[in-house]
Structure 1
Amino acid sequence: MSATLTEHDAAPRTPGTRPPKPSTPAGRGPRKRKFPLAPWMLLAPSIVLLGIMVVYPTIVMFITSFTDLEIKNKMLDTPANFVGFDNYVEVFTASDFPAVLARSLGLMLVLTVIIVAGGMLIALLMLRLTKGWRLLVSVGLLLAWAMPPLSATVVWGWIFDTDYGLVNWALNTLTDSQDFRGHSWLANPWSFMMVLVIIIVWQSLPFAAFTFYAGLGQVPDEVLEASQLDGANAVQRFRLIVLPYMRNVLTAVIVLETIWNLRIFTQVYALQQQGGLVSETNVLGTYLFRQGLGEFGVTAAIGVFMVLLLMGISYYNVRSSLKEEEA
């Protein structure tokens, strides 16, 4: 015998009908969302430092770029005059800045291509090395990466020294002549750039190699083995499988290397001090540094242009990252 309990007082419910929400107690309104104070308190020191060290100098530089501020105004304590866009016009028409910009962009392109391609090749090589050889290669890369840029530039400057350089001695030995005795590699702008590329690539390859090596670990072995069974060769597996899996890593490395290679200063300045021609080897960093000794308004205009250029390059990386997060 079974008994069925029914609720005679309850209203009949149709399928899909939600139960009524509990009523709010009398005298209480809807609960207000509290302001997340703790996270902002933790971020406050960083925000203050960022404002003092980045935001404020950027605003001052932007305002100065529209004035004729010079060193005499600082010495005589006189205000600068507002000149509008005259500084920008002077930078792009009445100076050698366009040539410096073209040289910097060309150097950035060459460095980025060599570093990205070389880093990928080293990363692929490390996958095929035994544990001992991989450890040896990693130590060598770390030593090159850890050396300060100024020290590395001085050492490479000695290697390419005019009188006692190892390169000149080796070339004389290989050619069995004295053609390279007293040959200056830094006096010619093209050979200067060659030495500069060697130094920067030597120190930048480790970052790209280690990053790509870590990214290659994200590629599933099962997919590679399946493609190999289907008849795909090494080039096809790299192009159709490895690169799509490493797209985010590859994009990040390219953008970072592009920004870093456009901001080089130490290596160029140190080589110029060792015998390079300043007027024919300046890049944006050294040109801005040497220009800043006199006309601050023109220097600020160059700085504003560099900031906008770097922001434009960084925008692509930020947009790609946001798209990946939304997907």
Structure 2
Amino acid sequence: MAEALLTAPPAKAAGRRPRPTARERARGRRDARGAWTLLAPSVVILAVMVGYPAVLMVVQSFTDYSIKNKVQGTLADFVGFANYLEVFTQSDFPIVLLRSLGLMVAMTVLIVLLGVLVAVLMTRLGRGWRITVSVGLLLAWAMPPLAATTVWGWIFDTQYGVVNWALNTVTGTSDWTNHSWLLNPWSFYMVLTIIVVWQGVPFVAFTTFAALGQVPGEVLEASSLDGATGFARFRLVVFPYLRSVLTVVLVLQVIWNLRIFTQVYALQSRGGLVSETNVLGTYLFRQGVGEFGVTSAIGVIMVVLLLAMSWGYVRTTLKEEEL
């Protein structure tokens, strides 16, 4: 018995995977080559359309490259971090950055909350009303940002706006006659927020409504029988099923709302004060003409900021794929 134990082969370590055979390794290499062959066109397109401009922007941010170098065909001088120091110390960029972050937070919170509420409401509506609400959301979502801004600009117009007329009618005075909503920065931000939220809610509503269809009805019925209130059912039962979807929606809204441009530029053209209403997109656009080095530095800062905000979601996604 003792001799048999001494001559017995050692037991395999628990949990250790068996080594792949030569045929399995060959098949894995063949599958990898096939996958890379299919991905090659997309990788090349991304490298040309995204990779090259990104690398060029980073390189130019460390130089004094300007329109003069482009016209004369001369090389720019390396200036190190001088462009970044100028952006943060000798320009309005810090104020514009704080303003953009504040607007992004307000818009994102309103869009996500209203979108989820509309999605929950759609689950309670009958077929006819749900179709009506869906059509209205689609119309708001499908309208181009410039067209939507033009329409809302007429609604808040100084002389012919519906808002001024309605306020005069309700108050019975003429205090709101020729009132400019875009001249004051705070009312400018209010109009801007209304436009962006109005066009952002449909995406969140449709996405959340589709995710709500994946919540098992038996679980909701059981929680209702246990006496859970509507808010408790949503927080403890429904929300765990929506967490991954809402995370993606939240990250997308943060990115989209931080780089808004069309709505701000169009409202500024209708009477807004540019110096007090610039956001990152319009500030980058209005930066000194031909100052490519400083402009590239601002672009790099924006990219780093967006990557930092979305890194939590990317890290969570990678962890889930490893499980």
Q: Is the pair's TM-score, using the shorter chain for normalization, greater than 0.5? A: yes
- Structure 2 match to 1:192: 188
Give distance in 1, aligned partners of 2:321 and 2:210.
Answer: 21
- Displacement of 1:245: 1.5
- Structure 1 match to 2:14: none
Give distance in 2, aligned partners of 1:148 and 1:166.
Answer: 21
* Matches for 1:109-148 after TM superposition, within 5 Å: 109-148=105-144
- Structure 2 match to 1:104: 100
Give distance in 1, aligned partners of 2:308 and 2:22.
Answer: 45
- Structure 1 match to 2:170: 174
Give distance in 2, aligned partners of 1:160 and 1:55.
Answer: 42
Which blocks of at least 5 consecutive residues in structure 2 are unaligned? 1-7, 12-20
* Matches for 1:3-18 after TM superposition, within 5 Å: none
Deviations 1:64-93 (A, max 9, x none): 000111222222222211110011111111
- Displacement of 1:325: 2.8
Which of 252, 257, 260 is equivalent to 1:256? 252
Determine helix, strand or coil for the equivalent of 2:202.
Answer: helix
Structure 2 residue identity aligned to 1:139: V
- Structure 2 match to 1:93: 89
Which segment is superposed worse, 91-100 or 36-45? 36-45
Which of 154, 158, 164 is equivalent to 1:162? 158
- Displacement of 1:184: 0.7
Give distance in 1, aligned partners of 2:22 and 2:49.
Answer: 43
1:69 aligns with 2:65: yes
1:319 aligns with 2:315: yes
- Displacement of 1:322: 2.1
Deviations 1:96-137 (A, max 9, x none): 000000000000000000000000100110010000000000
- Structure 2 match to 1:246: 242
- Structure 1 match to 2:304: 308
Which segment is superposed worse, 241-250 or 130-139? 241-250
Structure 2 residue identity aligned to 1:272: Q
1:202 aligns with 2:198: yes
Give distance in 1, aligned partners of 2:128 and 2:322.
Answer: 42
TM-score by length of 1: 0.89
Give distance in 2, aligned partners of 1:214 and 1:254.
Answer: 16
Which of 258, 282, 285 is equivalent to 2:281? 285
Determine helix, strand or coil for the equivalent of 1:154.
Answer: helix
- Structure 1 match to 2:231: 235
Structural RMSD (CA)? 2.0
- Displacement of 1:49: 1.2
Which blocks of at least 5 consecutive residues in structure 1 are unaligned? 1-13, 18-28
Deviations 1:271-301 (A, max 9, x none): 1111111110000011011115231111110
Give distance in 2, aligned partners of 1:269 and 1:207.
Answer: 23
Give distance in 1, aligned partners of 2:289 and 2:190.
Answer: 29
Deviations 1:219-273 (A, max 9, x none): 1111111111111111111111111111101111111100110010111111111
- Structure 2 match to 1:55: 51
Determine helix, strand or coil for the equivalent of 1:291.
Answer: coil
Give distance in 2, aligned partners of 1:325 and 1:64.
Answer: 36
Between structures 1 and 2, the one with greater helix share: 2
Report the count of equivalent residues. 304
TM-score by length of 2: 0.90
Deviations 1:149-190 (A, max 9, x none): 011001111111111111111111111111111111111110
- Displacement of 1:324: 2.5
Give distance in 2, aligned partners of 1:232 and 1:151.
Answer: 45
Cα gap change, 1:186 to 1:245, in 2 (>3 Å): same
Give distance in 2, aligned partners of 1:210 and 1:324.
Answer: 25
Determine helix, strand or coil for the equivalent of 2:286.
Answer: helix
Which of these two proteins has the greater Rg computed from alpha carbons? 1
Give distance in 2, aligned partners of 1:109 and 1:250.
Answer: 16
- Displacement of 1:326: 3.1
